[in-house]
Amino acid sequence: MDEKTVKWDVKILCLKFLSELRMDWTELQKSFPKLIYLEKIKCPKLTFFPCDKGGVWINKSLEDKDLTDLGLAWSLLWRRMD
């Protein structure tokens, strides 16, 4: 990606069954700088993603913040952060 990378205002992203999508973690972070929660399932060409064994990544720098302050009220995300 070049300097003109489009930046999305996405906080929760679920990537599932995208067998042809090629991207590394650094590229994804540039495109989604406000990402809080990522779920990656069966996307073999997505590389260097720091997901747990269940395919989930949570932005640890936001753990102490109230989800409502982030514009979220998703109970699944709250349970994952406990």
Q: What are phi and psi of 43, to 5 degrees?
A: -125, 80
C-alpha–C-alpha distance, residues 75 and 22, integer Å = 30
Residue 70 has pLDDT above 50, yes or no: yes
Q: What are phi and psi of 64, to 5 degrees?
A: -85, -5
Total Cβ atoms within 10 A of residue 31: 15
pTM value surpassing 0.95: no
Residue 2 has pLDDT above 60, yes or no: no
Of residues 9 and 74, which shows the higher confidence score?
9
**How does pLDDT run across 8-67, given as a tens digit for each residue?**
999 899 999 999 999 999 999 999 999 989 999 999 999 999 999 999 998 887 766 666
Give the helix/strand (H/E) hosting 80: helix 75-81
C-alpha–C-alpha distance, residues 9 and 23, integer Å = 18
